[in-house]
């Protein structure tokens, strides 16, 4: 959940570290810090605020080698003393992303050896451990390797020593870290967006790798300590894809990128005449032949995508499907069916709960695994047999938008491929679905035109403390997603219910101060939904309805109708997501919250 950057160069690395942290701020933003080595001393600057504050504080700091960190607090409150880098005896400095599970035991041992702790973090034990080996004759690489052998938990780290201005050590296990290769300079970072300012060349470090960076070269050692070569890749990302451009916030940019993100995700199928299992990997056809059910595991927004997929999979492919929150599944006793396809969904591919749920599923006997994910080199992709990459591009706003709609597109493809393989889809139906998918990006573009109208509507939410979201069937998860977006970035308490459930309790909450947002597609449940809306109106509730054309729901006293295009059939949930994203965004603007970095949250949740 934290972001780390490190650099060794002939130039001053402080601007590179700061610029890198700005790119990684989505990973955590409660404090930040950096350290550089110069004149055989560690020069550390830390701040409790955002990276911008650190940039000001470090404006006069210079050095050719350094490490930096932006934090999402796990152990110890956000404060300067808990901000990274952590140091041992002014000799060793460490930045860390992850959690050291045995830190209490190590802290006790190190305290007994005379080490004095200056923070409440788990990270500080790493600095003291490395120091203890370093002052006992090991070099920086050997000391780091020896210290890592004592750690239980997850880490990506960067290490420097005051008396060694030539070497920077990086290591990863369970948390992401990559190596950037420059001309006579080298870097480490949690993700590539931090390094696009200096290089496109990247080495994806593997689990357990330790890397020693110097100006001229670098050496990588695997988990067994054996020196290894890893391929140098050219990153497909460019600076433009991680810059704000004409938009006020990343969330707004990412909402508007959805037509392109969907087109990219669907590119391989939309350009072909038929659907083939091969899009999920070479072994997909065989695997799909062997399965009789689906288990979807995910968290947050990705879980909502799974909930939509369940409706599709059962209706179109006639395959039983269960969707579980990953953090619940991993700790519950469940019965593995080796004929189940376990599908994990994750934007980042590094969500700790989803990854652990995947590994738990494998451990209890599940054989078939498939990941729907936005990050090609992520742990979830690497640990799954089959995969479909969403090609949404980097998603930087903490509130997930384009990742969600592209996940839906990918899961719809999975549904169609399984339906076809199970004989539930004739050629005409297949062609119709492919036609609808090709049309999807322009359909989303049309819905985005509602933006000015939604911006006006949002003003009516700014003074509200609660909101209800209603949907039915396929659109119930969309109501859940709309409520999550609103609460996440505007801090308005929002809940979603299947509209038919209202009268079983939540209706008691409805009064003139409770706005009720309804997702109203023109589908078979429309008349039922209309009755539910009448129930709300009769109790004085104010309705905000996103209604498809021809639903015959009209604006009137206490009823505000946003006109959506014609009903898009099975793809309707994707279209109905867009106005709810925009609503949350404009309500947050009204409330003046930090849209891209809402309080207490971080983008990649790499801790339990
Ligand atoms: O990277 P993942 O898709 O695995 O992340 C899962 C959730 O943490 C994420 O969707 C979260 O709920 C978002 N902030 C929602 O906008």
CA-nearest residue, atom 7 of ligand 1: 300
Q: Is the CB of 346 under 6 A from ligand 1?
A: yes
DSSP per position, 251-286 = HHHHHHTHHHHHHHHHHHHHTSSS--GGGG-TTHHH
CA of 374 to the centre of ligand 1 (A): 12
* Residues 546/533, Cβ–Cβ less than 8 Å: no
Determine the pLDDT at residue 197.
94
pLDDT > 70: percent of the chain: 100
- Identify which has the larger pLDDT, 205 or 237: 205
Taking alpha carbons only, the member of 583, 470, 566 closest to residue 518 is 470
Q: Is the CB of 348 under 6 A from ligand 1?
A: yes
CA of 9 to the centre of ligand 1 (A): 35
For the whole model, what pTM was predicted?
Answer: 0.84
CA torsion 254-191-66-89 (nearest 10°) is: 110
Q: Is the CB of 354 under 6 A from ligand 1?
A: yes
Using CA atoms, how far residue 149 sits from 61, 177, 189, 371, in Å, is 34, 18, 22, 30
* Residues 203/181, Cβ–Cβ less than 8 Å: yes
Q: pLDDT category, 22, cuts 50, 70, 90?
A: very high
Within the chain, all domains assigned CATH 3.60.20.10 are found at 3-242
State the catalytic residues: 2, 603
Q: Is the CB of 297 under 6 A from ligand 1?
A: no
Could you give the CA distance from residue 582 to residue 451 in angstroms, rounded to a whole number?
A: 7
Could you give the CA distance from residue 255 to residue 448 in angstroms, rounded to a whole number?
A: 8
Counting other chains too, the contacts that 588-593 makes at CB distance below 8 Å and 24 or more residues apart are 588/489, 588/490, 589/248, 589/455, 589/458, 590/458, 590/459, 590/461, 590/462, 590/490, 591/462, 591/490, 591/491, 591/492, 593/489, 593/490, 593/491
Within 13 A of 333's CA, how many CA atoms are on the CB side? 0
Could you give the CA distance from residue 574 to residue 255 in angstroms, rounded to a whole number?
A: 12
Looking from the CA of residue 400, the nearest atom of ligand 1 is 16
Looking from the CA of residue 601, the nearest atom of ligand 1 is 14
CA of 195 to the centre of ligand 1 (A): 24
Q: Is the CB of 189 under 6 A from ligand 1?
A: no
Q: Is the CB of 351 under 6 A from ligand 1?
A: yes
Q: Is the CB of 399 under 6 A from ligand 1?
A: yes
Q: Is the CB of 64 under 6 A from ligand 1?
A: no
| Residue 211 main-chain phi, psi, to 5 deg | -125, 140
pLDDT > 90: percent of the chain: 80
Q: Is the CB of 160 under 6 A from ligand 1?
A: no
Whether 604 has a pLDDT exceeding 80, the answer reads no
Looking from the CA of residue 299, the nearest atom of ligand 1 is 6
List, in order, residues 6 or more apart from 600 with CB less than 8 Å away.
none
Whether 5 has a pLDDT exceeding 90, the answer reads yes
Hey, what are 584's tokens? 């949350």
Residue whose tokens read 């070099």: 139
CA of 348 to the centre of ligand 1 (A): 8
Fold for domain 250-448?
A: Rossmann fold (3.40.50)
Identify the weakest region by mean pLDDT among 355-359, 439-443, 603-607: 603-607
Could you give the CA distance from residue 8 to residue 14 in angstroms, rounded to a whole number?
A: 10
Whether 538 has a pLDDT exceeding 70, the answer reads yes
Determine the pLDDT at residue 540.
87
Q: Is the CB of 67 under 6 A from ligand 1?
A: no
Whether 365 has a pLDDT exceeding 90, the answer reads yes
- Identify which has the larger pLDDT, 29 or 364: 364
Using CA atoms, how far residue 333 sits from 263, 356, 360, in Å, is 40, 14, 10
Within the chain, all domains assigned CATH 3.40.50.10490 are found at 250-448, 451-591
What tens digit of pLDDT does each residue of 389-399 get? 999 999 999 99
| Residue among 357, 394, 400 to mutate when testing ligand 1 (max atoms within 8 A of CB) | 400
Taking alpha carbons only, the member of 324, 333, 322 closest to residue 303 is 324
CA dihedral sign of residues 132, 135, 141, 142: negative
Whether 608 has a pLDDT exceeding 80, the answer reads no
CA of 300 to the centre of ligand 1 (A): 5
* Residues 317/419, Cβ–Cβ less than 8 Å: yes
Residue whose tokens read 């067994």: 224
Whether 181 has a pLDDT exceeding 90, the answer reads yes
Burial of 31 (0-12, 13-18, 19+ CB in 10 A): buried
* DSSP-derived 3-state class of residue 177: coil
| Residue among 328, 330, 347 to mutate when testing ligand 1 (max atoms within 8 A of CB) | 347
Please give the mean pLDDT across all residues of the chain. Answer: 94
Hey, what are 445's tokens? 């573009």
What homologous superfamily is domain 451-591 in, according to CATH?
Glucose-6-phosphate isomerase like protein; domain 1 (3.40.50.10490)
Using CA atoms, how far residue 194 sits from 134, 178, 250, 269, 379, in Å, is 30, 10, 16, 32, 19
- Identify which has the larger pLDDT, 241 or 208: 208
Could you give the CA distance from residue 345 to residue 358 in angstroms, rounded to a whole number?
A: 10
CA of 124 to the centre of ligand 1 (A): 29
**Please, what is the end-to-end C-alpha distance for the chain in angstroms?**
10
Helix, strand, coil shares, percent, the chain, to 5: 40, 25, 35
Determine the pLDDT at residue 125.
97
For β-strands 41-47 and 31-38, DSSP reports them as antiparallel
Looking from the CA of residue 605, the nearest atom of ligand 1 is 8
Q: Tell which CATH classification among 3.40.50.720, 3.10.20.30, 3.60.20.10, 3.60.150.10 matches the domain 3-242.
A: 3.60.20.10
| Residue among 351, 376, 384, 606 to mutate when testing ligand 1 (max atoms within 8 A of CB) | 351
Determine the pLDDT at residue 607.
67
Please give the angle made by the CA atoms of 434, 437 and 438, to the nearest 5 degrees: 90
Question: Alpha helices, DSSP H only, in 383-426?
Answer: 402-421
Write down how long the chain is. 608
Q: What is the mean pLDDT of residues 327-335?
A: 93
Looking from the CA of residue 300, the nearest atom of ligand 1 is 12
Looking from the CA of residue 604, the nearest atom of ligand 1 is 1
Whether 32 has a pLDDT exceeding 70, the answer reads yes
3-state secondary structure 186-255: EEEECCHHHCCCCCCEEEECCCCCEEEECCCCEEEECCCCCEECCCCEECCCCHHHHCCCCCCCHHHHHH
DSSP state of 137: T
CA-nearest residue, atom 11 of ligand 1: 300
| Residue among 175, 299, 599 to mutate when testing ligand 1 (max atoms within 8 A of CB) | 299
Cβ density class 272-288: b for 16+ within 10 Å, e for less: eeebebebbbeebeebb
CA of 378 to the centre of ligand 1 (A): 15
Q: Is the CB of 254 under 6 A from ligand 1?
A: no
Q: What is the mean pLDDT of residues 102-112?
A: 96
Q: Is the CB of 398 under 6 A from ligand 1?
A: yes
- Identify which has the larger pLDDT, 236 or 453: 453
Q: Is the CB of 190 under 6 A from ligand 1?
A: no
CA dihedral sign of residues 458, 460, 462, 465: negative
Whether 301 has a pLDDT exceeding 70, the answer reads yes
Q: What is the mean pLDDT of residues 308-329?
A: 98
């Amino acid at each position: 959940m934290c972001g780390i950057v490190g650099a060794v160069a002939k130039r001053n690395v402080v601007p590179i570290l700061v610029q890198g942290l700005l790119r990684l701020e989505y990973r955590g933003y409660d404090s930040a810090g950096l350290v550089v080595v110069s004149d055989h001393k560690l020069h550390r600057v830390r701040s409790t605020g955002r990276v911008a504050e650190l940039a000001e504080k470090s404006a006069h700091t210079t050095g050719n080698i350094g490490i930096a960190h932006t934090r999402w607090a796990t152990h110890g409150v956000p404060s300067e003393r808990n901000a990274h880098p952590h140091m041992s005896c002014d000799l060793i400095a460490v930045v860390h992303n992850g959690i050291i599970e045995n830190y209490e035991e190590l802290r006790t041992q190190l305290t007994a050896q005379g080490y004095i702790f200056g923070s409440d973090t788990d990270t500080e034990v790493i600095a003291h451990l490395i120091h203890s080996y370093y002052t006992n004759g090991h070099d920086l690489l050997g000391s780091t390797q020896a210290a890592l052998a004592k750690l239980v938990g997850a880490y990506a780290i960067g290490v420097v020593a005051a008396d060694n201005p030539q070497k920077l050590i990086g290591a990863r296990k369970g948390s992401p870290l990559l190596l950037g290769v420059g001309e006579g300079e080298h870097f480490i970072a949690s993700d590539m967006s931090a390094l696009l300012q200096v290089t496109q060349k990247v080495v994806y470090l593997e689990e357990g790798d330790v890397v020693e960076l110097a100006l001229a070269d670098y050496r990588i050692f695997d988990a067994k300590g054996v020196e290894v070569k890893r391929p140098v890749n050219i990153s497909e990302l460019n600076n433009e894809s991680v810059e704000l451009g004409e938009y006020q916030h990343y969330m707004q940019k990412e909402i508007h990128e959805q037509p392109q993100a969907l087109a990219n995700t669907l590119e391989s199928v939309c350009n072909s005449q038929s659907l083939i299992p091969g899009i999920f990997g070479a072994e997909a056809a065989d695997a799909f032949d062997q399965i009789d059910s689906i288990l979807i595991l995910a968290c947050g927004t990705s879980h909502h995508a799974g909930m939509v997929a369940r409706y599709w999979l059962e209706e179109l492919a006639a395959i039983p499907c269960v969707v579980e929150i990953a953090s619940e599944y991993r700790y519950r006793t469940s019965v593995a069916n080796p004929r189940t396809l376990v599908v994990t969904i994750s934007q980042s591919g590094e969500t700790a709960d989803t990854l652990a749920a995947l590994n738990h599923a494998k451990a209890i006997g599940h054989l078939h695994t498939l990941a729907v994910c936005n990050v090609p080199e992520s742990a979830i992709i690497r640990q799954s047999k089959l995969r479909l990459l969403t090609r949404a591009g980097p998603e930087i706003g903490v509130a997930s938008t384009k990742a969600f709609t592209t996940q839906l597109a990918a899961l719809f493809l999975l549904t169609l491929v399984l339906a076809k393989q199970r004989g539930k889809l004739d050629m005409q139906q297949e062609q119709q679905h492919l036609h609808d998918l090709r049309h999807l990006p322009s359909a989303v573009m049309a819905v985005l035109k509602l933006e000015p109208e939604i911006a006006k509507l949002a003003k009516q939410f700014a003074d509200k403390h609660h909101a209800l979201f209603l949907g039915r069937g396929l659109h119930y998860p969309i109501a859940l997603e709309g409520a999550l977006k609103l609460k996440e970035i505007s801090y308005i308490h929002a809940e979603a219910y299947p509209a038919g459930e209202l009268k079983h309790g939540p209706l008691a909450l409805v009064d003139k101060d409770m706005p009720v947002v309804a997702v109203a597609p023109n589908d078979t449940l429309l008349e039922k939904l209309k009755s539910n809306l009448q129930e709300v109106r009769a109790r004085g509730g104010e309705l905000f309805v996103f209604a498809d054309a021809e639903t015959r729901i009209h604006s009137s006293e206490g009823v505000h109708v946003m006109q959506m295009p014609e009903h898009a059939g099975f793809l309707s949930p994707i279209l109905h997501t867009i106005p709810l994203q925009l609503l949350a965004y404009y309500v947050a603007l009204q409330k003046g919250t930090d849209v891209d970095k809402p309080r207490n949250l971080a983008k990649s949740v790499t801790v339990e």
